[in-house]
Amino acid sequence: MTGEERRSEILQAIQEADVPISGTALAKRFHVSRQVVVQDIALLRAANYDIFSTTKGYLIHMPVSVTRVVEVCHADEEIEDELNTIVDLGGKVIDVFIRHEVYGSLRAPIGVSSRRNVQEFVSGISGGKSSPLKNLTSGKHWHTIEADSRETLDMIEEELRKKKYLIEESSR
């Protein structure tokens, strides 16, 4: 087993564990010294895995989030309000995509999670850097939205509905 394979399996073991896993237990399981496990954990942390040590062993912080795709339609002047509505209620706009009759599905990452991000995004569009993808499909587009719970996504969807941005399934 290579070091990379071992680290992958160590990561999987920590992710699947309900309780902390000790360095000694990991060392025995993978037939290496505890020092090798400590080095592997350091490399995993350097790769941005949020692994932390307790007196009983290693745990990983697994952020809990849920995503939902919503179909929306609005004018260019409403982009800022649409995005602010989502972030103000605790959502993050992961991407925007359209389904074009000729080009097929076109997707672009956005990564908007704050009013500052919204302002930067809108400035890029209004400054002439680019035009909105939605303009290729008469305003109709989709967003993947991430939030901490389904309830938060429900609130976001309800607010988009109130503002008449949301395209309901029955109107497709």
- Coarse DSSP helix, strand, coil percentages of the chain, rounded to the nearest 5 percent: 45, 25, 25
Q: Is 61 flagged in the annotation as binding?
A: no
**156 three-class SS:** helix
What Rg do the C-alpha atoms of the chain give, in angstroms? 22
149, two tokens: 């719970």
66-171 topology per CATH: Histidine-containing Protein; Chain: A; (3.30.1340)
Would you write out the chain's pLDDT as a tens digit for each of its 172 residues? 899 999 999 999 999 888 999 999 999 999 999 999 999 999 999 988 899 999 999 999 877 789 999 999 999 899 999 999 999 999 999 999 988 888 888 888 899 999 999 999 999 887 766 767 676 777 789 999 999 999 999 999 999 999 999 998 655 5
Is 143 marked within a binding site?
yes
Residue with tokens 């008469």: 138
Instruction: Determine if residue 74 is labeled as part of a ligand binding site.
Output: yes
Q: What 8-state DSSP symbol labels residue 76?
A: G
> Is 31 flagged in the annotation as binding?
no
| Every domain range in the chain assigned CATH 1.10.10.10 | 3-60
